Amino acid sequence: MDRLLTEIENRRDALIALTQDLIRIPTLNPPGRHYCDICALIQERMGSQGWQVEMVRAQGALGDSDKYPRWNVICRLEGRGPGDCVHFNSHHDVVAVGDGWTRDPFGGELADGKIYGRGACDMKGGLATSIIAAEVFVAMHPDFNGAIEISATADEESGGFGGVAYLAERGYFDPARVQHVIIPEPLNKDRICLGHRGVWWAEIETKGRIAHGSMPFLGDCAVRHMGAVIAEMEATLFPLLAGKRTEMPVVPDGAKSSTLNINAIHGGEPVQDADYTGLPSACVPDRCTLTIDRRFLIEEDIDEVKREVRQMMERVRERRPDFRYEIRDLFEVQPTMTPEDAPIVQTVQNAVHQVLGRSAEFVVSPGTYDQKHIDRIGRLKNCIAYGPGILDLAHQPDEWIGVDDMMDSAKVMAISLAKLLTD
């Protein structure tokens, strides 16, 4: 075990160089740039070391086009004897740069033990860490049993349909093929993320009747109806949700309650283009829409979640003549949580203790990530997110990853491989 840790120490420069190489490929999503380039880099690296490498384009998936093809790469190395397969899955896409940077977002600059760039922590640092960990493990234990897989997949930042979901539908995360999954998202090197809350996105529409704005009594204002909906939400729904608390170890603490965000509201005349210099016209709005993002707990049932909103709308209807509305489902994800006694959780927990000398904290993510597809489509439950980096830096300007954190996580990953794939 000590040899494994020493060898990781020796690979510090290689880890830095790989992280920089990955950051320097600007895999912006949307729209999904340079996916082929980043997959080719990994294909070449792992292929030259004898791994079987598959490049898979998510042909026809949401977002896939000839201009912006959704490429994924899956690398697999078979051991000498039969055994489990351990899979490291990272997304290779990054979000928009945004304002406020003082460093080159695609420069991979190294300063004071930090590597800067968009995607440094979310999650090219984690991807590089898992590759180095696997390479070192294989070099030290060429006679290992089972198999190791490393994938870099598309579109996590936009739902994962051209990435993990596509692969899961084609059996890549079938429990017969893969037994353990680690997703190196930046949850911090001493935390193990067991899963995430559920999601329901919906659009609520209130309906009115258009009329001249000088005689609003001849029409029916959809925006006023929506005002009543929001007032009812404030009075009854938000307090109801705040009162629901989960046993899941969700971080931060505020996300231990059920939450609802109003993503958007639109009513009346559409906003005109900036080059329109005239005045608005006088009309009573005949429709108003509200987009809601409801995050729910493992203790809640999605039908109940939807029923609460319908019941709230019915309470408004009782008080308002002519109140008409519609609720449209947009998107839903079930909550998921891997049990604490699952083999991958136990293994990584022990490895964290060995490397850091303290116990790993179990957490659950307030938002979802690719585990949802591995769980729901792949039917594989033995899955966690574990990787270096500070979650709060994700999607921020001057995003960075600490080299020491990556080194520690690489040790945890290599020890975990040794535990799962050698006697």
Instruction: List residues near Zn ion by CB under 5 A.
Output: 122-123, 185
Is residue 229 within 8 Å of 290, Cβ to Cβ? Answer: yes
Residue 370 CB, nearest approach to Zn ion (Å)? 8
Is residue 351 within 8 Å of 189, Cβ to Cβ? Answer: no
Is residue 206 within 8 Å of 231, Cβ to Cβ? Answer: no
Q: How far apart are CA 64 and CA 59, in angstroms?
A: 6
| DSSP of 79-116 | -SEEEEEEEEEEE--B----S--SS-TTT--EETTEEE
Residue 203 CB, nearest approach to Zn ion (Å)? 26
Amino acid at 268: G
Q: Which of 361, 344, 337 is nearest to 191 (CA)?
A: 361
Residue 158 CB, nearest approach to Zn ion (Å)? 11
Residue 231 CB, nearest approach to Zn ion (Å)? 37
Closer by beta carbon to Zn ion, 167 or else 415 = 167
Closer by beta carbon to Zn ion, 156 or else 190 = 156
Closer by beta carbon to Zn ion, 168 or else 391 = 391
Alpha helices in 160-237 (DSSP H): 164-169, 222-232
Residue 179 CB, nearest approach to Zn ion (Å)? 23
> DSSP secondary-structure letter at 203?
E
Report residue 412 as tokens.
Answer: 């945890």
Closer by beta carbon to Zn ion, 174 or else 392 = 392
Residue 399 CB, nearest approach to Zn ion (Å)? 11
Burial tier of 384 (Cβ tally within 10 Å: 0-12, 13-18, 19+): buried
Residue 149 CB, nearest approach to Zn ion (Å)? 19
| DSSP of 1-46 | -HHHHHHHHHTHHHHHHHHHHHHTS--BTTTT-SHHHHHHHHHHHH
Residue 339 CB, nearest approach to Zn ion (Å)? 23
Closer by beta carbon to Zn ion, 185 or else 408 = 185
Q: List C-alpha distances in Å: 292 to 34, 144, 271, 331, 358.
A: 33, 49, 21, 11, 40
Closer by beta carbon to Zn ion, 8 or else 164 = 164
Is residue 206 within 8 Å of 322, Cβ to Cβ? Answer: no
Closer by beta carbon to Zn ion, 32 or else 208 = 32
Residue length of the chain: 423
Report residue 31 as tokens.
Answer: 């729209």
> DSSP secondary-structure letter at 156?
G
Closest residue (Cβ) to Zn ion?
A: 122
Amino acid at 376: R
Closer by beta carbon to Zn ion, 84 or else 122 = 122
Helix (H) or strand (E) holding 414: helix 403-421
Q: Which of 395, 389, 386 is nearest to 417 (CA)?
A: 386
Closer by beta carbon to Zn ion, 184 or else 267 = 184
Residue 66 CB, nearest approach to Zn ion (Å)? 26
